[in-house]
Amino acid sequence: AQSVSQHNHHVILSEAASLELGCNYSYGGTVNLFWYVQYPGQHLQLLLKYFSGDPLVKGIKGFEAEFIKSKFSFNLRKPSVQWSDTAEYFCASRWSSASKIIFGSGTRLSIRP
Amino acid sequence: DTGVSQDPRHKITKRGQNVTFRCDPISEHNRLYWYRQTLGQGPEFLTYFQNEAQLEKSRLLSDRFSAERPKGSFSTLEIQRTEQGDSAMYLCASSHDYQNYNEQFFGPGTRLTVL
């Protein structure tokens, strides 16, 4: 079955620390990959997406992710986090442009001011 | 157009009652998706529509669940004979086949609590 795994359930960092959240997806041929963010009390928002081309994708708010096909991974990174990055982060994938999205279980990011 | 809207935002009901949620997608989006999110988990796919046709249903969608999109615009999700296990956030998303690689835009969700 198609699946997405996020390795970290809860990550706590200090402001200005670097961030890397792990994500692995199950093999399913051509894949679209996403990172969504859900700030407290707000709805899901798209941070970045990968469809094809350059495996290093840049998103909003200084986030980036790297698609490594050989490792089935799509890790999210940010060089210096801010308190406002406190949120839940979801890695997700889909196996065609018109199909459902499969979400990981999420990583809660807490930033100490 | 301000995005996907859902109504109500919160619903508290007693076990055994029927509930209905509404989703209004972004104007002209032809695809509409329903997901369910329980505490500590990512959203799980329930069903989706292309225009008024329901094209896929998850096995999570038991016989007590029914979704419609009668005119290819708004959609309703009904849960009959609610159970405590139905308590969750129900999310709606919409997309357009020829825009942004079918990027799905999510609504704020309806939080259901079954007592």
Percent of chain A clearing pLDDT 70 (strictly above): 97
d(CA B52, CA B93) in angstroms, rounded, equals 15
| Cα dihedral A83/B106/A50/B72 (nearest 10) | -170
d(CA A19, CA A109) in angstroms, rounded, equals 9
Q: State pLDDT tens for residues A84-105.
A: 999 999 999 998 766 789 999 9
Nearest CB neighbour to A46, from listed B48, B91, B103: B103
Which CA distances in Å does A100 have to A78, A97, B39?
27, 9, 20
B30 and B50 Cβ atoms separated by less than 8 Å: yes
Q: How far is B102 from chain A (nearest CA, A)?
A: 6
Interface contact A97-B102, CB threshold 8 A: yes
Among A86, A97, A89, A90, which residue's Cα sits nearest to residue A32? A97
Nearest CB neighbour to B107, from listed A43, A51, A103: A43
Per-residue pLDDT at B69 = 96
